[in-house]
Amino acid sequence: MSARVEDAVKIYGIAATQVRALDHVSVEFPAGRFTAVMGPSGSGKSTLMHCAAGLDTLTAGSAWIGGRDLSTLNDRQLTLLRRASVGFVFQAFNLVPTLTVLENITLPLDLAGRGGREREADREWIDSLVDVVGLGDRLRHRPSELSGGQQQRVAVARALVARPEVVFADEPTGNLDSRSGAEVLGLLRTASQELGRSVVMVTHDPVAAGHADEVLFLADGRLVDTMSAPTAALVLERMKAFDRPPVGSAAR
């Protein structure tokens, strides 16, 4: 199952305070591909992820998941599609403060009504996720009792627990040391390569982007470049161009 947006435009606010966060972006996130999305702060990365995942709506253009045009779905259909097919790691984690670490991780399964015998079948996967993100000794803690990096790892495990077809991760390694970061990247890579998932990751880190199959570069709400078979060095080189004002950019 793939996700894509076609000629996506997202405008926030009205009149004088209007911000064009996405400016005619078309991009596909195919099954089995690990895509990194890069670009300066405010370039529209989170907006793209939210709209592609059906968490927010486009002003114009269309967003598709697995061949379904999200604008044709009502709220309930959208919720069900997201629950069944989409995993999301939010930039701000969005953990449920009243639930323990384990309850947060298994929340998508609970929402999908996967209890009893189904839960037994999921147990091994849950254990391996908990193991990879290194939270085995924190399962009964609440999010407020965790460090930022630990919360981030809970969010990653939660996004993957229901084995969604499409995984969106907004800076999933932003608060992690290099070892934890590498484990999370390995997990995302496994989800795309071995499980055939479509995985989309926002990152500011060239090393993280170097783990992806393809890198998309956004600037000012536009897709300005793509890179296949990226390496950290190539990505870093490309990012330096962002330090110069883009050619033809005009104040809005």
Query: Which residues of this protein are in contact with ligand ATP, per CB under 6 A?
Result: 12-13, 19, 21, 39, 41-47, 91
- Answer yes or no: are the C-beta atoms of 1 and 166 closer than 8 Å: yes
Nearer to ligand ATP, 46 or 104 (CB): 46
Q: Which does 4 bind (CB under 5 to 8 A by kind): Mg ion, ligand ATP, none?
A: none
Q: Which does 143 bind (CB under 5 to 8 A by kind): ligand ATP, Mg ion, none?
A: none
**How many residues bind to Mg ion according to rule CB under 5 A?**
2
Name the residue among 25, 14, 59, 21 with its Cα closest to residue 43: 21
Name the residue among 14, 92, 87 with its Cα closest to residue 54: 87
33: alpha, beta or left? (left if phi > 0; alpha if psi -120 to 50): beta
CB of 57 to ligand ATP, least distance (A): 12
CB of 35 to ligand ATP, least distance (A): 15
Q: Would you state the torsion angle of the CA atoms of residues 42, 46, 52, 53, taken in this order, to the nearest 10 degrees? A: -160
Name the residue among 34, 10, 1, 47 with its Cα closest to residue 186: 34
Cα–Cα distance, 224 to 27 (Å, whole number): 11
46 touching Mg ion, by CB under 5 A: yes
Stretch that binds Mg ion, among 39-47, 55-63, 225-233, 241-249 (CB under 5 A): 39-47
CB of 56 to ligand ATP, least distance (A): 8
CB of 219 to ligand ATP, least distance (A): 10
